[in-house]
Structure 1
């Protein structure tokens, strides 16, 4: 899961979710997500039947979490 600053496009945090012990590798998906009432935490319902609560890393900077995304424009001709 990645968290981005929507104004600048900077990815300030990347977290790998861990499947519930005993789950299959195919059960590492996110089915739904919503923010709590404060808007500071993300709540996800995952394929392994768990609910996880995520919060942002307050100490993240552009130096500690560099942006690796390089968009490419591809023309598709039909």
Structure 2
């Protein structure tokens, strides 16, 4: 896993966990990471990460119509 360093202004009142969650949620939403990979970045279980997504305005359901049709066929 790669490590990056960000310089965040001191007046931004967020904990390191919050930054990690924001980044992981966005990468998950953009389908750059799986839920498991995103959960690993934050240090949560996959289930806990999925539960936290709603608090960050991210749906666990795909926005793609073709994915929806595929899910319905597989159900």
Q: Under a length normalisation based on structure 1, what TM-score does the superposition of the two structures give?
A: 0.25
Larger Rg: 1
Bigger fraction of residues in strand: 1
